[in-house]
Chain A
């Protein structure tokens, strides 16, 4: 392995990571250079170290509070590093637009698979290193304050090893999922769905496995496993730190060596998987013969014209076929599962309130995500709609349905799940559906208003669809609207009588205002958007 070549390629891939998410990509600017991430690491570490030091310095009872906390936290920092890279890497690296994910040049450059994997993993580890700096800063301050400074070096080093471990696992998943679509020679609709579903399940599984709530459960499981966990490579770094803190330096170093060796094995496995499964050309998916001019009965019944129905159908295809859409579907599902698992079986008076908020939140948040991104998803192909004889209002109608159908379907499904899990009555169940649907509709128009004005149409590996500032604005105002509708709506259920009626009126009022403002803003936004192609 030529380390110089690995370093050069890693530098290029890091630059690509940094520039992929920015609308201006001037390579000469500070923000376009790979060292920016290193600088960010240092800044985060120093700032958080300083702030924590200042905060804990005058506290004489620090050691009694911080020491037990550190003895628990320090061993799990390497695992946190692995989890962060694995979860974020699979979520964002593997769902990059297929057009860019191929990174064709590496296929004809004189690089071995091992060199490519090492370079790519280095770039991924480096890209997510701020997550490690973020936690090491305050931990370092606390450790020094209670006299555990010596252990910190070991924790930091194993944290870096953890970043690489996670990155090699991401590379392995990347290679393995390349072929999911062509297993057994199937390259049709079933194969495409299989690929999407497999990736979706993988992301879901990782999100859930490493979610703080479930991770805590797994730590409890680790204690139950006891000495058996010493045979699980993923926990070797944890054992190393635990033993080090207990004063058993020799055994700790054995586990450190084992962890480093395991990371080397992962590199070898990742390289072998790349050789075995990587495909240079994009997999060609062929479907059964297309039936032209098929009637969209359901969409026509909603009052859409043939052109509008066709845009909706196209968007549905995009939702199920585009890899970069998967994170959007995953986020609300993960939130929902985590909350459901935490609160299922609750039979308190708060159950119905929770059910309204949870169900409405998940559906509304999905509506908000889909709505804010539905225009940017068109990317450069937006000019197809611009060149066609259709108005902006027509596109708005189509986009509204494209967002509302999946969001309301999701809301219905979660309402049913909520009814079962919380043991609610039929009346409560219908009420939940009505309030949640209202919240989803309000969130949809709010999202569309932002999408019409601030969409990002740049072609890049990790599209952002909406410019970052407005995206933050859309999320904050969207979440405010969702809670503004859902909380009084939920209260209306549980309170009953006059207070319940008042809460219902507040819920309706917020929904009506949000809907009115959102609809007006979306209509004027689409009118303005369709005056001139924005790129």
Chain B
């Protein structure tokens, strides 16, 4: 579904991502984890064609993003790390606008948007300007915008940011349902490792622009030699930031 092969990207002298290779199969949720600045967002943007690779290739459902970006984008639903919405539109106007951009059939649009608005408890607020929304409400609009056109691949950069527990639960269940029942592939980035552990079928850990580990949670535990540990310990161990006692001690003074 998604094939990223030897993707490399530099910003000036800084190499943000180096020779990253991974894939997202249909019907799987793949977690892309890593410390701040590891290259997660750059990788996700490259999949959308927002960032041009210096080298390497990215294919979405067989479409090379560099050659056929429109065909690739048509299949993707994307939630950016910090959704910048058009705040002078109402939630309904924004979602209608997004539906037009993706060519969503007018007859199914109303029902589908309505379902999502009710499911995420935004119904009743959709005719208010987005500028008056809370951060969580804006995140819900961004999520609906990513899901409304039946994408076959979801690129979700911190999608649960600011969501209340009920909505976060709904989103997680929707993702599970989409992958199991509809074969949607999901690339999911989060800093909340409990969430990654709970919903991801496969984990990729990026550190300083390179893949340092890839596999199921169990495989990563084995690799880190931390059988029985949580993903947090495994993550800290694999990214070389395991012993933080000095930092904690200094900050506690």
B residues with CB within 8 A of A: 45, 48-52, 70-71, 73-74, 76, 78, 80, 82, 84-90, 92-93, 96-103, 106-107, 109-110, 113, 126-129, 131-132, 145
Contact = CB atoms under 8 A, between A and B. Distances in A.
B29 to A, nearest CB: 20
- Which 10 pairs show the lowest CB-CB distances between chains A and B? A293-B106, A380-B84, A310-B100, A290-B92, A284-B132, A388-B101, A533-B50, A389-B74, A389-B73, A321-B88
Nearest to B50: A533
Contacts of A321: 88, 129
A37 B127 CA distance: 44
A138 to B, nearest CB: 44
Contacts of A283: 132
Interface string A234-245: 000000000000
Given A290-B90, A317-B88, A532 B100 contact: no
Contacts of A307: 100-101, 103
A272 to B, nearest CB: 27
A292 B49 contact: no
Most chain-B Cβ atoms within 10 A of its Cβ — which of A99, A284, A294? A284
A287 interface: yes
Most chain-A Cβ atoms within 10 A of its Cβ — which of B97, B102, B129? B129
Given A293-B96, A317-B89, A532-B50, A306 B129 contact: no
B113 A292 contact: yes
Contacts of B132: 281-285
Contact of A387 (B73, B82, B89): B73
B45 A389 contact: no
Interface in A277-307: 281-290, 292-294, 306-307
A311 to B, nearest CB: 8
B85 A290 contact: no
B88 A322 contact: yes
A294 B102 CA distance: 15
Given A307-B100, A387-B76, A532 B86 contact: no
B40 to A, nearest CB: 16
A284 B128 contact: yes
Interface in A313-333: 313-314, 317-318, 321-322
Contacts of B129: 192, 284-286, 321
A294 B100 CA distance: 10
12 contacts: A98-B87, A282-B131, A282-B132, A286-B90, A286-B128, A290-B93, A317-B93, A321-B129, A322-B88, A380-B82, A383-B80, A390-B101
